[in-house]
Structure 1
Amino acid sequence: MTAWEGCRCACSSSAEFRQRAVELARVRTGSIREVAESLGISESCLRNWMSRADIDTGSKPGLTSDEHKELVELRREIRRLETENEILNVPPRASPGRTSSQNDLPGGAGTGRGQCSL
């Protein structure tokens, strides 16, 4: 998921449309509201796109779209690894008919494995 996809405006638009809308808003003499209305999007949506474009070009501080995408992926990987770690750290339960001390013996009790034969 890119940072652009996080925009919750009524429009479902391509990256090219967003880029052109931002360019149009910057070169037009009209207000951002007027530009947004002429494009059929909300003013807040256009302002978000403009802010995101400023961050991506480095003219405004913040996480770029690529950095945001990487952060989301890394957080997802951390959650997956934490879940796996929790699963691996759960102590084994005793099997039915066996005590936990029997389960702790190598090969299990009464199996013939792990016992000395003379």
Structure 2
Amino acid sequence: MAAPKKYPDELRERAIRMVVDARRDPETRQGAIARIAGQLGINPETLRTWVKRTEIDEGLRPGTTTLDGDRIAELERENRELRRANHILKTASAFFASMPK
């Protein structure tokens, strides 16, 4: 189960929009994340992570998108479950094959 969110989604979206807008203007680009994080009472590293994730999801920055990451995690879970089931079946098959008839 995921941890509860510290910041509401509306604040997150607003902060990301503010950073994107500030980065468009060369005069406000420098230190935009730290300045906006301070204004909104958000940890600057948290805001930096949000902006980075948004840029990756929108294809503006290289990396694994949120959807791809979720899909990979789901496939890895499924793979673990299948390996475990396969191991159980192999063990049961060996057990029953070794029983006298």
TM bucket (normalised to shorter chain) is 0.7 to 0.9
The equivalent of 2:17 in structure 1 is: 23
Percent identity for Structure 1 against Structure 2: 36
Unaligned runs of at least 5 residues, structure 2: 23-27
Query: CA–CA distance in 1 between the matches of 2:8 and 2:72?
Result: 23
Q: Which residue of 1 aligns with 2:95?
A: 92
CA separation in 1, counterparts of 2:54 and 2:66? 9
**What code does the residue aligned with 2:71 have?**
E
Give the whole-Å Cα distance in 2 for the aligned partners of 1:65 and 1:57.
10
Structure number with greater CO (CA < 8 Å, separation at least 6) is 1
CA deviation after TM superposition for structure 1 residue 73, in Å:
0.6
In the alignment, does 2:30 pair up with 1:36?
no
CA distance in 1, matches of 2:10, 2:84: 39
The one-letter amino acid of 2:37's match is: A
Segments of structure 1 that go 5 or more residues without pairing to the other structure are: 95-99, 106-118
Cα deviation code 1:85-116 (max 9, x no counterpart):
1111112179xxxxx5xx342xxxxxxxxxxx
**Do the aligned partners of residues 57 and 25 (structure 1) sit closer, same or farther apart at CA in structure 2, a change above 3 Å counting?**
same
Alignment RMSD: 2.6
Residue-pair matches, total: 91
Is it true that 1:46 corresponds to 2:50 in the alignment? no
Paired residues for 1:1-118 under 5 Å: 12-28=6-22, 29=28, 31-90=32-91, 91-92=94-95, 100=98, 103-105=99-101
Equivalent AA in structure 1 for residue 12 of structure 2: R
